[in-house]
Structure formats: C-alpha cells, structure tokens
Structure 1
C-alpha cells in the first residue's frame, strides 16, 4: 500500500511539474503572439543570415528562414489572455489554416500581396513619421455606428496592442471582425459546411456614417468551403468584395468580405448612416462568412493607417466581468462613446432602442 501511495505521489508531482512547464510554455507563446509579426520575421531573417555568414552547417540557415516565415502564421491563431475572446481552434484547425496560408504565400498573387502589405505598412509609417494614429493621436472626428442590422458578435479586434486585430499591419491595426451568433455562441446551423448555414451570410451591411462611396469591388466569388478552416488561397484580393466610404476629410471606412453580387452602391454615390451597401459574404481570404470593418486615413487599403473608431448609438453586451474594470474599454452604461473588444455583442440603436 505504501508503495502505491508513493507512486501516486510521484505521478502527482510529475503532473504538477508538467502543468507548470506547460504554463511557462503558454506564457512564452502568448508573449510571442503579442509581438510585431514583422519583427519576428526580421529576427529570424537576421539569424539565418548570421548562420550563413559564419558557416554554420546546413540546413541551419534554411530552418531559421522557415521558422521566420511560419511562426507568425502560427501565432496569429493563438488566443491570449488579453484577447477577451477564445477562438476555440483545435490544433488540426490551426494546421489547416496555416497550410492554406502557406500555399497562398507561395503563389504569384500571394507573393504580390505580401509585398503590398509590407510595403504599404512602410509607407504608412513614413507618412506618419514613425508615429501612426492611436486612441489619443489623430483620432477621427466621425462617430461610427455598427455597420450592421441587429446584434452581431465581435470575434477579433480591439484598440490595444494585445487585443488588436493585426497590430503589425498598420492599416488593420484597429479593425474588427464581426459575425452573427446564436444563444450558444455558434455562428451557424448544422455542420456549417454550406454558406447558407451561417447566420451572417447574406445579412445586410450598412454605412457606419454619412459619406461618399469612393471604391467598390463586387466580382469575387464567396469561398465555398466555410467551416473547413482553410482560407481561400486562390483569391487575388484578400479583402474580397468591399465598399470604401469617405466620411469627414481624411477619414474612410472599409467594409470587406461582402457577398458576390450584393454591392448596391457605386463610386461617387452619397450614402447616409444606416443605408444598406451590400451583404455579408465569404469572399477574399475568409474561413467563414463575416464582416471585416476598419476605419483608415487613406482610401487605399494597403498604404492606409488605421484609425481608432469610436461608436455612438450602440448597445453592447459584455458578459465577461473583467471588462467592467478595463480602463480603456470602459463600461457601456457610463461611456458616451465606446470602443469595442473581441467578445462584445453589439447592436446599433435608434432613439435609445436596439435597431
């Protein structure tokens, strides 16, 4: 009996050590996930060049280059304690997302997209002399409504580095991804293998404020494999079908991943807050139907710097109690204008009532 008890104690101690090690590993992963992806690529590129320069045996340099290319993709699938929303991805789903992104990256259009993203980010930094907009600098004068009808859930996005949609990509730094969920938090009916299974698919997308249409795209197909965790690697435009609206001078909103053939506006057309401009779709680089919404300081998606949108006439449900104590995001009952964060359920209001 004593031997069995000792063995149990040893196993318990071993399990605690394993949990501690996993916890430490998780902390390292989360720390890396909150770093700038371009910085990570740069570090491993420099390490690879150093290994090649000093004659480190092959294939050390190539492995370092590979890690630099793949690691940011892996980290992009990691939910951190600061995100405010657990994306619930399995390792198998992560593997499929990463694999399809890698396939996209080696295509001619994928390579061109990477040049646009990295070059555009550099242009944005140069335009702002290394100090891109944030929540206190170059804030938009326009107050935005949620660009949808009824209640939607924010699945990605925030205004701090740790909660950002894509901090390293300046144009998408303060972007949001929105979906429609049911009471159980599911985004679709059934097994989710059909576009029509998704509650968001085909839902109206509206102008978030008064403005003028400056650019549209409406001819890209909706990725026909939702729920597969594979992105549309064949698309030449990761934004998919989109509408860009100019609001106050130098303030633009982009509504992306719209349904093919659903755009109802054209460049030069005036729109009012709440006007329908298209429908939610699954075009571009999208794993399931959702709306990508961002505010930017230039009409061009690639060279723009993201602006921090403040929302008005909005009803927000924040089930996680820790949000109430978050100084940046405030509380829905007290704030005159609101920032959104992943996990929020948000709906526009008219006259104080849900739209």
Structure 2
C-alpha cells in the first residue's frame, strides 16, 4: 500500500476508505498469477470487505479483457483499487489483507498480512467550489474506472495518484442536461453549456502558489491530442492552486481564458471568486476539475480526501442522461448533507 488511507464521509451518508494495493508477480516459473479473492480485515479480525474472482477482476488495473479473469504476468505488477464502506462506529486502526492466487499449473498460493495503519489525517472541511446551480460530480470518488482515481503517475521513480479524490463538476439544468437542446451535439457553443462561465470560488482561505491564465480553450466535444506532459501546465490549462495549510493544496483546472482573478502569492479568502468555469487544458467539455492533494505540483502528489461543509444530493445520473440519451434523469429525494464528499456521478448543489 503506497499511501495509507484515511476515513471520510460520503454523500451517501456512510464512512469510506479508498486506497490501492500493488501486487508484483516476482517469480517467472509461476507464469501468470490469477487473483481469486481478497479479504480485508480490521485489528479485531472483522471482515470489512470481501471480493470474489469477479470482484477482483473489476478492481484490478490493468483491467482484463472482457469476459476473462484478472491476471498478473511474471515480472509485472497489478494494482487493486480498494473501496470500503465502513460499518457504523469508530473506524479501524489497521487493515490486514488476505489474497488468494492460482498459477498456470493450478497451484494455490496465499498472502496473509500485508497490513497498513489507517491514517488519522482529518479531511479538510471546505466551502463551496462553485456558486449556485446543479452539478454532476462526474468521475468522482468511488469510481476506480475513472480517469481520476484510475490514473497512476510515475515521475523520478515515484508512483502516485494525484487525482485520487478529484471531481469534474459539470453544470446541468433541472432535466439533468449539460447543454441546451441542439440539432447536433458536436456543434454546441460555450453559450449552450449550462455551467460555462460560472463563478469558481476559493473553498478556504489560503495562499495562491500556482496560477496560469491566457491559454486557449477547446471547442466542446472536440477530440484532443495526448497532453505534452503529466503536469499542471500539460493538463490543467488555465488553473489556480491554493495552499490551504497543513499540507493541503486545492487545485482548480480548465478555467475560462481571461477569467483568473488572483495572482501568485496572493492571499485569498474563503468564498472569494478566483475565476470562471471554462474548457482550457486537457478537457473534452466545459467543467471544473477540482482536487485536493498533499503537494502543489501535479506530479509526485497524492490525492487526499476532503469534505464540503454543506452539500445537497439529488441521486445518481448517468453520462448518457447528461447528453439526453436514454431515460430522462429524475432527481431523487433531496439529501441535505453536512461535512460530506460527493461520490461519483451524484448530482449535487451547494447551499449557502
């Protein structure tokens, strides 16, 4: 486990842990190892999570081909993305892992131990990152298949996940649509997208430690080349990074060109407008990318959990519904949340 997990409250009303287990198949004579099951236990031998073979295939990266079991070839490494919904009560202090494998000859091997101490790091309590409206928390926490949690970044021999708890906030209307009705979705303009130009807010008081403006924005839903680098400049377009203290850095990406209203070294106050939602950088459509990490840079940073002081949830929405495909989105009964992190593909708003 390269980075110890810490508990946080999700918008579903439950407490969670999210972390990774990296498994390396060292010996060549075993051939491909096939993970069959995983059990995660606490210090009292209480089973917090059980994954069968299908669950292992869904949790591991690189992902197996459709219909095939998970496998880790000789000399290769697989990463298990572990999401635990904790039972009520005090969170565990330590986690122990039991993993069962079979090799190409049908022999069974087991790993029992692989312990990690649960971090006592307290999630930072934040204010709203956006003003007004409804927002889809797209590709957010809990989705190991997302381009956020599922993206490992290697630099100078260090492997980290800067976007472990990142969220792409997409503005929607009351029907759950991201843009106005148009004949051709590939011919939309910025003015058609409900979130475009929305005020982006400082989630807490702090100091601006990285900022960029003046980068061109892309046409909505237009294909883009691979980024030049896995860095702030290579991915974020127009951005702001704020040092909130205590090793917590809030990152805002894909801001509207010319909208950034803060400068390097400036002290900002919670709720202050720092820019506007746009589509600069590595972005396929207008949205705000928001993340919390333990470093100001992208490369070498680890994503850390956080919670918003007030967040209202309206249930899940699919990506298809966002574009008006399939059944129309129907909001669930509103859930008023306090000190919670929106989970992946949940519709939320930030009450004042």
TM > 0.5: yes
* C-alpha contact 2:141 2:167 (8 A) present in aligned 1: yes
1:318 deviates by 1.9
Aligned to 1:337: 339
Alignment of 1:186-197 (within 5 A): 186-189=177-180, 190=182, 191-192=184-185, 193=187, 194-197=189-192
Q: 1:142 deviation in Å? A: 2.5
Question: What do the CA deviations read for 1:266-286 (whole angstroms, capped 9, x no partner)?
Answer: 111111121111111111111
Secondary structure of 2:341's aligned partner: coil
Q: Which has the higher helix share?
A: 1
**Cross-structure match for 1:346:** 348
**C-alpha separation in 1, matches of 2:131 and 2:335:** 21
**1:201 correspondence with 2:196:** yes
- Structure 2 residue 224 is matched with structure 1 residue 219: no
Q: Distance in 2 between matches of 1:131 and 1:145?
A: 35
Equivalent-residue separation in structure 2 for 1:132 and 1:240 (angstroms) = 37
From 233, 240, 243, the counterpart of 2:240: 243
* 1:158 match: secondary structure: coil
1:313 aligned residue (304, 310, 314): 310
Alignment partner of 2:301 out of 288, 299, 304: 304
Tell me the CA shift for residue 141 of structure 1: 4.9
- Identify unmatched segments of 5+ residues in structure 2: 1-51, 66-70, 77-83, 85-113, 153-160, 318-332
SS of the equivalent of 1:196 reads: helix
SS in 1 for 2:296: coil
Deviations 1:60-119 (A, max 9, x none): xxxxxxxxxxxxxxxxxxxxxx9xxxxxxxxxxxxxxxxxxxxxxxxxxxxxxxxxxxxx
Give the superposition deviation at 1:238: 1.5
Distance 1:31 1:202, change over 3 A: farther
- Partner deviation per Cα, 1:305-349 (whole Å, 9 max, x = no partner): 0001111122222258xxxxxxxxxx9858642121123222222
| C-alpha distance in structure 2 between counterparts of 1:29 and 1:281, whole Å | 39
RMSD over aligned Cα atoms: 3.8
Deviation at 1:167, TM superposition (A): 3.3
Partner of 2:49: none
Q: Contact 2:312/2:337 (CA < 8 Å) preserved in 1?
A: no
Q: Is the 8 A contact 2:313 2:337 kept in 1?
A: no
Q: CA deviation at 1:206?
A: 0.8
Aligned to 1:111: none
2:60 — aligned with what? 35
Alignment of 1:130-279 (within 5 A): 137=119, 139-150=121-132, 151-159=134-142, 161=144, 165-169=148-152, 170-189=161-180, 190=182, 191-192=184-185, 193=187, 194-224=189-219, 226-228=220-222, 230-233=223-226, 237-279=234-276
- The structure in which a higher percent of residues are strand is 2
With structure 2 as the length reference, what TM-score do the two structures score? 0.56
Q: Indicate how the Cα distance of structure 1 residues 304 and 289 shifts in structure 2: closer, same or farther if over 3 A, else same.
A: same
Q: How far apart, CA to CA, are the structure 1 residues paired with 2:141 and 2:299?
A: 20
